[in-house]
Structure 1
Amino acid sequence: MPRKPKRPCRYPGCGRLSDGPYCEEHRKAVRDDYNRYERAPDSNKKYGRCWKRIRDRYAAAHPLCERCLKEGRYTPVEEVHHIVPISKGGDHRESNLMSLCQSCHTKIHVEMGDR
């Protein structure tokens, strides 16, 4: 049976022919780059089904962004933010939560140096 013709590597700037999408040199680089954005293995313990229920309940009770509300703007909630992050000893108690729009949530994480 005839084989499929080799195609150029998909990696930008590489013209080597390969049987798969990437040549041997770039196959590992692409795989490592992809895995860099996976969540930590214990993230389901922190953010599982229980967190989704807590988040939905908090968002229903606080439907507007708390930061925008202080500035006189009425923006619907898009994210529920932990004031003290889980990774730094925070928990899911209501006193540690804050409803935010996407813009304010991003600003807080930039200020914290997370992103």
Structure 2
Amino acid sequence: MPHKPKKPCAFPGCPNLTDGRYCEAHASQANREYNKYRRDPDSNKIYGRRWKTIRALYLSKHPLCEQCLKAGRYVPAEEVHHIKPIAEGGTHEESNLMSLCKSCHSAITAATKNRHR
């Protein structure tokens, strides 16, 4: 299957080509800036190294999107979703987690945010 052509890194002044938004040299720096300026500071306490370990373990056990699987599609999972959000008293327990593809996670998140308005 052919791949998309690579595009320039989004970091200002970087000439490297990449498949994602940032090249490998700038991905961690861009993530740091996102966490510093755009993300709620309390979320850094919740989603630290422990969460990354839990997330990786859950994705290895559940490699397919659970929503797509119910619909009969086999799509690799990219994200782990909390069924009951941490802000509402949810936990990182496996019974409260769900592996999802990016589009399913975005749809659930948008529906949840609209419900709270």
TM-score, normalized by the shorter chain, greater than 0.5: yes
Match of 1:77 in 2: 77
Per the normalisation by structure 2, the TM-score is 0.64
Tell me how many residue pairs correspond in the alignment. 79
Between the aligned partners of 2:41 and 2:73, the Cα distance in structure 1 is 38
Match of 1:49 in 2: 49
Q: CA RMSD in A?
A: 1.6
Between the aligned partners of 1:111 and 1:86, the Cα distance in structure 2 is 17
Between the aligned partners of 1:44 and 1:102, the Cα distance in structure 2 is 21
Gaps of 5+ in 1: 1-33
**Correspondence 1:1-115 to 2 at 5 A:** 38-113=38-113
Q: Deviations over 1:75-110 (max 9, x none)?
A: 001100000011111110000000000010011011
Q: Deviations over 1:23-53 (max 9, x none)?
A: xxxxxxxxxxx9xx62222222100000000
Q: Which amino acid aligns with 2:86?
A: I
Q: Which amino acid aligns with 2:113?
A: G
Between the aligned partners of 1:92 and 1:70, the Cα distance in structure 2 is 23
Secondary structure of 1:64's counterpart equals: coil
Match of 1:26 in 2: none
Secondary structure of 2:105's counterpart equals: helix
Q: Which amino acid aligns with 2:110?
A: V
Q: Which amino acid aligns with 1:79?
A: E
Between the aligned partners of 2:102 and 2:88, the Cα distance in structure 1 is 22
Instruction: Kindly report structure 1 stretches of 4+ aligned residues shifted beyond 6 Å.
Output: none
User: Higher helix share goes to which structure?
Assistant: 2
Per the normalisation by structure 1, the TM-score is 0.65
Between the aligned partners of 2:39 and 2:51, the Cα distance in structure 1 is 16
Q: Which amino acid aligns with 2:52?
A: K
